[in-house]
Amino acid sequence: GITLAWVTTLEGLPNGHYVIGNCHAGPKNPLVIEIDPKTKKVVWSYDSGTANGNSGKRIEVHAFQPLANGRIMIAESGARRIIEIDREGKIHHTVKLQVKKPHPHRDTRLVRKISSGNYLVCHEGDGAVREYDGKSGKVVWEFEVPLFGKPRRGGHGPEAWGNQCFGAGRLKNGNTLIATGNGHSVLEVTPAGKIVWKLEQKDLPGI
């Protein structure tokens, strides 16, 4: 009975179930749901569009993460916050996000709780990756994706140009790997903000 209009992420659980998130479900509500692939039934769901003070707001969910302690981390664009909830929907932890250019569709993209317990957040609209302290919520690291001297061009295809970063991950060596979205590149950045490796769109044949 649930129509997923735009699936953003799929995560596997140890029990064999899948957790799926989408920006909009039904007419507007962003859902995170758990599905049993054997029965093809939804066994759990959480509606960020109405729960925990969000009713009446425009909320989009572009990132979530099942955590080892059984909680689910959800990044709520529009509310500009990260929450950790239990399966009853109770919030156990909240981090307010610092967004310079607020917009429910562009506040966040990929968000991950990393091994340190901090949160690594891609802010699409700000063109920046920020790391938030997992307890205090303070920004402890930030990298603004450069335009490399090129003017902005609208769109999502190869004609576009910008710094609307969509993905970031922390590497074992402490560097951060960043997918620059419509910047058409992947960057490896040191804690000091130095780019030590870069892969551009035209570096690969057939792209």
In terms of phi and psi (left: phi > 0; alpha: psi -120 to 50; beta: otherwise), the region of 54 is alpha
Per-residue pLDDT band for 30 (boundaries 50, 70, 90) equals confident
Return d(Cα 189, Cα 2) in angstroms, integer: 40
Return d(Cα 197, Cα 26) in angstroms, integer: 42
| Spatial CA neighbour of 53 closest among 87, 95, 90 | 90
Measure the CA angle with vertex 1, ends 14 and 39; round to 5°: 40
**For the residues 106-125, what does the mean pLDDT come to?**
96
Could you tell me the maximum CA-CA distance found in the chain, to the nearest angstrom? Answer: 53
pLDDT of 161 strictly over 50? yes
Question: In the prediction, which pLDDT does 27 show?
Answer: 45
Q: Which of 9-18, 37-46, 139-148, 150-159 has the lowest mean pLDDT?
A: 9-18
Q: Which of 3-7, 167-171, 177-181 has the lowest mean pLDDT?
A: 3-7
Return d(Cα 153, Cα 145) in angstroms, integer: 15
Beta bridge partner(s), residue 113: 119
Question: In the prediction, which pLDDT does 36 show?
Answer: 93
Per-residue pLDDT band for 1 (boundaries 50, 70, 90) equals low
Per-residue pLDDT band for 108 (boundaries 50, 70, 90) equals very high
**Burial degree of 186 (CB within 10 A; 0-12, 13-18, 19+):** middle
Name the token pair of 54: 């969000």
Measure the CA angle with vertex 59, ends 126 and 184; round to 5°: 35
Looking at the chain, which runs of residues are DSSP E strands?
7-12, 18-22, 31-36, 41-47, 60-66, 72-77, 81-85, 91-96, 111-113, 119-123, 128-132, 139-144, 167-170, 176-179, 185-189, 195-200
Q: Which of 24-38, 48-62, 142-156 has the lowest mean pLDDT?
A: 24-38
Whether the model clears a pTM of 0.95, i.e. scores above it, the answer is no
Highest mean pLDDT among 16-20, 21-25, 114-118: 114-118
pLDDT of 202 strictly over 90? no
**For the residues 13-42, what does the mean pLDDT come to?**
80
Per-residue pLDDT band for 123 (boundaries 50, 70, 90) equals very high
Burial track 146-176 (b if 16+ CB lie within 10 A, e otherwise)? eeeeeeeeeeeeeeebbbbbebbebeeeebb
